[in-house]
Structure 1
Amino acid sequence: MNPSIKQKSDNTEYGNVPIDFSFVLASSVHDMKNSLGMLLNTLSAMMENSPPRDADQARFFSTLEYEAARINGELVQLLSLYRMDEQTMMVVIDEHHTIDIIEEQVARNDSLLKSRHIEIQVDCDIDLIWYFDHELVGGVLNNLIVNCARYCRKQLLVSATEESGFLCISVADDGQGYPDNMLLGPLPQGSVSFGSGNTRLGLLFARKVLELHKSKKGQGYMTIANDGPLGGGILKLYLP
């Protein structure tokens, strides 16, 4: 072997500069997220300037928008998980009207819900106030609505109430329910997914966000069950 050629070491070095792959991946994800955001804006402008001619084209545009938004959401979750791991995530706990965060996420997914002919109901006292990070909890709720819209038949129900000193925000659907391997009460560290595996990252992100919310009552958690109020699955977020 030519002695002038340095073999790559186990920790992957070129010269004397080690490569931090977690940082490289996080930077790449950030760039992809920005590019995808531009793509979403372009797609939205295109649909506004050239509305779909018929129902088939409307569904086609809706699918493009949904898939791009879903990938963008997962990239945001990946970046958030990286920042949590690096302990650089800013958590801003403040007082909020719970109805506001629910209505924001419902409005955010209005085109998706309409294109799939899904009726969404909201059940929340307008005076219900709680302390939480608006952006993080909003991201979790948005992910739940998007995934439930994908697997439900025609109806979704988002509700919020106080239970035993915790704020409980639940998302119920009229689909086939969650698979058996997810019906484990509070979510464990292990692998969970729908058949496609798309929700594994979303559920991990949700659990981490809930764990960041702590008080003397305990820390946030979630539960999953079937036979909800609409006959399908129901996922509940608990915030202390």
Structure 2
Amino acid sequence: MLALLLFYFTRQQELEKQQEELREIGFDLLGYFNFNKGAFEVDPSSREDLMKFLVKEGFGDTLRDSSAYLQATETSLIHWHTLAPEENLSSPKFSEIKDVIISFPIKAKPGLSVIDELAPEPDKEDKDIDLEMEHDKSYIVYAYGFQHSPYGGYQLVIARSAQELQNSTQAMMKNLIYLFIASALLVLFAQLASSYWVISPIRDFDEEIKRIESGNQETIANHYPEELTPIKGTINTLIQYEVGQKRRYRDALDDLAHSLKTPLAAIQGYLEQVDKIKGNLNPETASQVDGISSQLENMKGIVSYQLKKAVVTNHHALITPNAIRPILTRLRESLLKVHHEKNFSIDIKVESNIQVRIDEDDLLELFGNLIHNACRFCENIVEVNAQHDGNMVVINIDDDGMGFPDNNPSKLLQRGIRADSKTEGQGIGLAVCTEIVEAAGGKIELLVSPQVGARVRVRLPS
């Protein structure tokens, strides 16, 4: 827009400059004429000076570039023309070129003082007249009107080729186009550069977050613009808080396991003493002793597991994604051995690239509990499948057993509630699974399996 305005004002200035030049030429030209009884005459002593003046100002013997004429405004009668500058109105030569002069296509309206750029419009009735000019050219026309009483009004009309103005206009337009292209490229380059400098810190920030997620970095360490500094501080605070929470949680389990280790060792010692006199006990008492020994081994296994978990756990605040297929494969091998007395299969339909953002030990505990329950109640098959659902992974564990109670299966997710009171257990397996899933930001549901048994659906973040 600014360039167009500049072009418009420059062109107007050039037209005004041409107007001033033509006005001065017109006043100088009128100085060579005497007006006598309705006719314009050139003083004989001034004829040579007039011819020099016309040559100097570019008036030739053709209409191609510049021309001028004196005309009566009421009758449109031409009294003098640059095609015959030394002839008067009544001379034979002037009569010879009269038709050419009258048909001259650049005409100003009588009585007007005007400056404009006009295109020629030849008279169609004068096709046989050679105007000796290019009709596709434009001309700058200046007209100056004046009165000579009582003979009426007259006007001096000067026409000059606009080719020079057009050339300068075209050159200016070309320069403006070049300037526009250069400005557009400069603006584009500036935008790209500014975008790079603006986005670069955000890209670096994102890279640090990814390194934290992968466990290669503890906190956001680099310096960033002040707009990102509050976010950096908030994220680092959350990370440190989460690390502290996890450490306190693991330490509490470690302390609990250590505190149970000594009493369990004492009980083990007592059982070893009882085992020496086991032959003197009646069968019922001996069976009870064996049951206590079995439960003691289970407790020792739980204590050992928690101690190991406290030692080897990952203390990073952000959990790295873990593939679930290897874990499910390990559990299948173990659970088939545990339930070797049953003739069933565990079918795993999970792609190797499906990962969830949850601790590996928690995954073992979660799927171990769920698949173990499915193995206990199935008839012939346990099936595990998984697929992505947005930023979550949906895992279905199906069996072809008796299914869940119809009235309110969700109550089984509470601690102490059991679906089968005839088998061993404390009713905390599904509750522990629920706590693990919800702590990871997921959801667990109890549904009906396509096998007409039970389906446990787990949603975990990917």
Q: How high is the TM-score relative to the length of structure 1?
A: 0.58
Q: Does residue 207 of structure 2 align to residue 207 of structure 1?
A: no
Q: Which runs of 4+ in 1 moved over 3 A?
A: 22-35, 70-76, 88-92, 187-191
Q: Contact 1:147 / 1:199 at 8 angstroms: preserved in 2?
A: no
Question: 2:443 maps to which residue?
Answer: 221
Q: Distance in 1 between matches of 2:301 and 2:406?
A: 24
* 1:114-137 superposed Cα distances (whole Å, 9 cap, x missing partner): 431111111111222232211111
Q: Contact 1:26 / 1:79 at 8 angstroms: preserved in 2?
A: yes
* 1:13-53 superposed Cα distances (whole Å, 9 cap, x missing partner): xxxxxxxxx99975565568999xxxxxxxxxxxxxxxxxx
Q: CA deviation at 1:195?
A: 2.1
Question: 1:195 maps to which residue?
Answer: 420
Q: CA deviation at 1:232?
A: 0.2
Question: 2:354 maps to which residue?
Answer: 128
Q: Does residue 409 of structure 2 align to residue 183 of structure 1?
A: yes
Q: Distance in 2 between matches of 1:177 and 1:142?
A: 19
In structure 2, the CA distance between the partners of 1:188 and 1:151, relative to structure 1 (3 Å rule), is closer
Q: Partner letter of residue 193 of structure 1? A: R
| Identity across the alignment (%) | 21
User: Rg: which structure is higher?
Assistant: 2
Q: Contact 2:335 / 2:372 at 8 angstroms: preserved in 1?
A: yes
Q: Distance in 1 between matches of 2:426 and 2:388?
A: 26
Q: Contact 2:415 / 2:428 at 8 angstroms: preserved in 1?
A: no
Q: Distance in 2 between matches of 1:73 and 1:162?
A: 39
Q: Distance in 2 between matches of 1:141 and 1:33?
A: 28
Within-5 A mapping of 1:151-166: 151-166=377-392
Counting matched residue pairs gives 174
Q: Distance in 2 between matches of 1:106 and 1:31?
A: 34
Q: Secondary structure at the match of 1:110?
A: helix
Q: Secondary structure at the match of 1:170?
A: strand
In structure 2, the CA distance between the partners of 1:121 and 1:27, relative to structure 1 (3 Å rule), is same
Q: Distance in 1 between matches of 2:357 and 2:335?
A: 24
Q: Contact 2:404 / 2:454 at 8 angstroms: preserved in 1?
A: yes
Question: 1:43 maps to which residue?
Answer: none
Q: Secondary structure at the match of 2:321?
A: strand
* 1:45-85 superposed Cα distances (whole Å, 9 cap, x missing partner): xxxxxxxxxxxxxxxxxxx9xx87x9569946x969xx9xx
Within-5 A mapping of 1:1-240: 27=258, 71=298, 75=302, 93-180=319-406, 182-184=408-410, 189=414, 191-196=416-421, 198=425, 200-213=427-440, 219-226=441-448, 228-240=449-461
Q: Contact 1:158 / 1:172 at 8 angstroms: preserved in 2?
A: yes
Q: CA deviation at 1:182?
A: 4.7
In structure 2, the CA distance between the partners of 1:74 and 1:178, relative to structure 1 (3 Å rule), is farther
In structure 2, the CA distance between the partners of 1:221 and 1:34, relative to structure 1 (3 Å rule), is farther
Q: Distance in 2 between matches of 1:23 and 1:101?
A: 24
Q: Distance in 2 between matches of 1:230 and 1:29?
A: 43
Structure 2 residues not aligned, in runs of 5+: 1-252, 267-290
Q: Distance in 2 between matches of 1:33 and 1:220?
A: 36
Q: CA deviation at 1:198?
A: 2.7
Q: Partner letter of residue 207 of structure 1? A: T
Structure 1 residues not aligned, in runs of 5+: 1-21, 36-63, 214-218
Q: CA deviation at 1:208?
A: 1.3
Q: Secondary structure at the match of 1:136?
A: helix
Q: CA deviation at 1:159?
A: 1.4
Q: CA deviation at 1:112?
A: 2.4
Q: Contact 1:74 / 1:201 at 8 angstroms: preserved in 2?
A: no
Q: Contact 1:207 / 1:221 at 8 angstroms: preserved in 2?
A: yes
Q: CA deviation at 1:224?
A: 0.2
Q: Secondary structure at the match of 2:427?
A: helix
Q: Distance in 2 between matches of 1:136 and 1:30?
A: 23
Higher helix share: 2
Q: Secondary structure at the match of 1:115?
A: coil
Greater RCO, 1 or 2 (C-alpha within 8 Å, sep 6+):
1
Q: Contact 1:225 / 1:235 at 8 angstroms: preserved in 2?
A: yes
Q: Secondary structure at the match of 1:94?
A: coil
Q: CA deviation at 1:170?
A: 2.0
Q: How high is the TM-score relative to the length of structure 2?
A: 0.32
Q: Partner letter of residue 194 of structure 1? A: A
* 1:85-106 superposed Cα distances (whole Å, 9 cap, x missing partner): xxx9968722222211111211
Q: Contact 1:170 / 1:234 at 8 angstroms: preserved in 2?
A: yes
Q: Contact 2:416 / 2:428 at 8 angstroms: preserved in 1?
A: no
